Amino acid sequence: MASLQADRTEARLLVAARGGDERAFARLTSPYRRELQLHCYRMLGSLHDAEDIVQETMLRAWRRLGSFEGRTSLRRWLYTIATNACLNLLERQPRVALFSNEQPALATIDWLEPYPDTLLPERAHTNPQERMDLRESVALAFLSAIQHLPARQRAMLLLFDVLGWSVAEVAELLDTSTAAVNSGLQRARTKLERRPAPRPTDEEERVLVERFVEAWDRVDIQAIVELLREDAVMAMPPEPVWFDGRDAVGEFFATVPAEGDLKRITLVPTRANLRPALAAYFNGKAYGLMVFEIAEGQIAEVVGFADAASVYDRFGLPERFEEPT
């Protein structure tokens, strides 16, 4: 019954939007904006670019609404526009990894940006299974790895493996054959090494990050190192640097941020890419963001975004931070 009512509401809004009602168009498309933005983020690896492409998608959809005949769902029609807009952008502005594919992907994608959990589709906040399903597809390691794929292969992989479209639907969107899609999917999967780690509980994440912050506030580098897995790694997009092993990561924390004077940096908990994250403020000013991958009770990966201050507002974070008095 609810589905029937939703269909009737969409049909009514579609008629009004075709008549030039911009408010009806906004209501018609608003349920899809977040998932479209997430799809574009996966395609492009950049939150800023994803936001721009969604705006472009909505403008194109508004202008072409008269050509939408309803032979497919409105959602699928919008995905078609958004995916093609991403492909057009990648064709106009080719992106080249900093090093060869032999280098860790996270160290080669200088345009990678974090994605605030607050911008994820609503179902990721209300449906635990949906949240679990999303987790791997927003992992920074996965996102950086697929940026090495040719753009059309990337689209095939995301549409089929992540969104669950059929091969025929993917072929129609990309204006190609089902054989080409099957071949593209096989090549894309061959290039990716997807080894999902066991999912830590929310409590495990909370406790571990709290211990990290406490050690940071004490400038206790040894305590920080003990929270890291022996094979822990750290990347710092857009810089082409890679720290391999807990000792190397610990040495970085001991010498680089504020030249090792960690007391000058305040850490504020947040979340990005369905992982725990910490926003850093250097002398009260927005400084950067660290996103953590946790596995088997320890920190397995730290991705530090030194230029993340430009997206602090997307995380609901202030540009300046003052300690409460």
Give 25's Cβ-side CA count (13 Å radius): 18
Helices vs. strands in the chain: H and E counts, helices first: 13, 6
pLDDT at 96: 74
| Pair of tokens at residue 180 | 């080409």
pLDDT recorded at residue 42 = 98
CATH value of 103-149+197-325 in 2.40.30.60, 3.10.450.50, 3.40.50.720, 3.40.50.2300: 3.10.450.50
Per-residue pLDDT, 247 = 96
pLDDT at position 310 is 86
Distance CA 185, CA 183 (A): 5
**pLDDT at residue 325, rounded to an integer:** 53
Fold classified for 1-94: Rna Polymerase Sigma Factor; Chain: A (1.10.1740)
CATH entry, 151-191, from 3.30.2090.10, 1.10.10.10, 3.40.50.10240, 3.40.50.300: 1.10.10.10
Q: Output the pLDDT for position 95.
A: 80
Q: In this structure, which long-range contacts are made by residues 8-12, counting pairs with CB atoms below 8 Å and at least 24 apart in sequence?
A: 10/74
Q: Cβ(280)–Cβ(81) under 8 Å?
A: no
What are the extents of the domains in the chain? Answer: 1-94, 103-149+197-325, 151-191
Residue 269: CB atoms within 10 A of its CB come to: 12
| 3-state DSSP assignment of residue 219 | coil
Sign (positive or negative) of CA dihedral 164, 113, 60, 2: positive
Give the pLDDT confidence score for residue 267 in this predicted structure: 97
Q: What pLDDT shows up at residue 100?
A: 54
Q: What is the mean pLDDT of each run of 10 residues along the chain (325 residues)?
A: 72 92 95 97 97 98 91 94 98 76 78 96 83 90 93 97 96 97 95 75 94 97 97 92 94 92 95 97 94 95 90 92 71
Kindly report the pTM of this predicted structure.
0.93
